[in-house]
Amino acid sequence: MGRSWDDVTNDRATIDDLDKSAIDYFLRKGYENGRISDEERNLPVETLLENLDLINDEGKLKNAALLLFAKRPQRYFTSVRLHIGRFSGSESNLITQDVIEGNIIQMADRVVEILKSKYLTMPIIFKGMNRIEKLEVPEEALREILYNAIIHKDYTGVHIQMRVWDDYCEVWNEGELPIGFTPETLLKQHSSRPRNRNIANAFFKAGFIDAWGRGYKKIREGFEGAGLPMPKIESAFGGVMVTFQRNNVNIASKHPEDGGDVGIDFVAEKLTERQRDILGILQDVAQNVAQNVAQNVAQNVAVNTKYLSEKLNVNRKTIQRDMAYLQERKLIQWVGPDKGGHWEIIIEESNNE
């Protein structure tokens, strides 16, 4: 009949089932990205839904409205979830997992937040005197992968799945590619043919995606800019699988499925919170010293294990272990004589952000 599944109305739901905070989030993002005007931000909810084509003439909500803004979309569609699993070695070795539920307009934010806190590393880089913590994979490209999985998912099927391995990640969503499309098609200039048209339109209005089939071009540019290979796209298990390399390891050879042995040398292991605090203290001291020198103010802070142990309220042996690890990672160095010297951050002037 020329309608997509998300265009079908749901007889059980009413506007009271929608979450105002989710709608406010959508309006704020759309306004910030220049796709929603001041006037649109102040429209009644019913008028907003009509403009987005998320409600019919009889006032019945469409499936897309519930997926985007419902307080509990799982009440209507059981597969509105994204499962994350951390694996090592084999699929039988599941280390930890999380299930992200709720409306899909905010799902990518929630996924990225939990990836940053538990699954992916954020190596510390010092450029000049600035401390930068940047996600190991290009964040905007990662969001684009998540948006594609959310928008193009077949919501009559199972949940979206993300597997995080030591050196790469996989994101899979149920739903075959459009007729005539192949994974190679997505990497070339192509028309935009979303499975769920109303969902895609809302994500466009929020400023999350373009409407010209440029998603994978943006993904390619993001990963190439980060010095990583273009993610691999393939049709798999009745859906689409995107596999991308992590930047926390140096892969010495190919994966077994590519005909090689695996040799992994970890070069950017995740620091503990205390080790990050130590680097932060060293940076703060360096900045204060530079400022005092510029102002001709005398101040001499001996940043040693005693100072750090008192500052962080832990014993000196613990600090010594942390300092040895940070020194081994070439993040800090001892300056001056054995007695009377101090620790400093190793400043690397680099064009790599």
Query: Residues of CATH 3.30.565.60 domain(s) within the chain?
Result: 81-173+212-266
Residues 261-283: what's their mean pLDDT?
63
Q: What is the DSSP string of 311-332?
A: HHTS-HHHHHHHHHHHHHTTSE
Q: How confident is the model at residue 261 (pLDDT cuts 50, 70, 90)?
A: very low
Q: Report the distance separating Cα 255 and Cα 246, nearest Å.
A: 13
Q: How confident is the model at residue 149 (pLDDT cuts 50, 70, 90)?
A: very high
Angle at 321 between CA 132 and CA 271, to 5 degrees: 30
Q: Give the DSSP letter of residue 295.
A: T
What is the pLDDT, as a whole number, of residue 39? 93
When mean pLDDT is compared across 5-9, 62-66, 185-189, the lowest value belongs to 185-189
Q: Report the distance separating Cα 102 and Cα 167, nearest Å.
A: 29
Residues 101-111: what's their mean pLDDT?
97
pLDDT tens digits, one per residue of 12-41: 999 999 999 999 999 999 999 999 999 999
Selected from 1.20.1730.10, 3.60.20.40, 1.10.10.10, 1.20.1090.10, the CATH number assigned to the domain covering 273-345 reads: 1.10.10.10
Q: Give the DSSP letter of residue 272.
A: P
Residues 171-188: what's their mean pLDDT?
78
Query: Residues of CATH 1.10.10.10 domain(s) within the chain?
Result: 273-345
The answer on pLDDT for 53 being more than 90 is yes
Q: Where are the beta strands (DSSP E) in 89-225?
A: 90-101, 124-127, 130-133, 160-164, 168-174
What is the pLDDT, as a whole number, of residue 291? 58
When mean pLDDT is compared across 169-183, 239-253, 293-307, 309-323, the lowest value belongs to 293-307
Residues 249-264: what's their mean pLDDT?
38
pTM over 0.85: no
Q: Report the distance separating Cα 51 and Cα 178, nearest Å.
A: 27
Q: Name the fold adopted by 81-173+212-266.
A: Heat Shock Protein 90 (3.30.565)
Residues 183-196: what's their mean pLDDT?
71
Mean pLDDT of the chain: 82
Residues 250-278: what's their mean pLDDT?
50
Tell me the pairing of strands 168-174 and 232-236. Answer: unpaired
Q: How buried is residue 148: exposed, middle or buried, by Cβ count under 10 Å (0-12/13-18/19+)?
A: buried
The answer on pLDDT for 347 being more than 80 is no
Question: Phi and psi dihedrals of 50, rounded to 5?
Answer: -65, -45
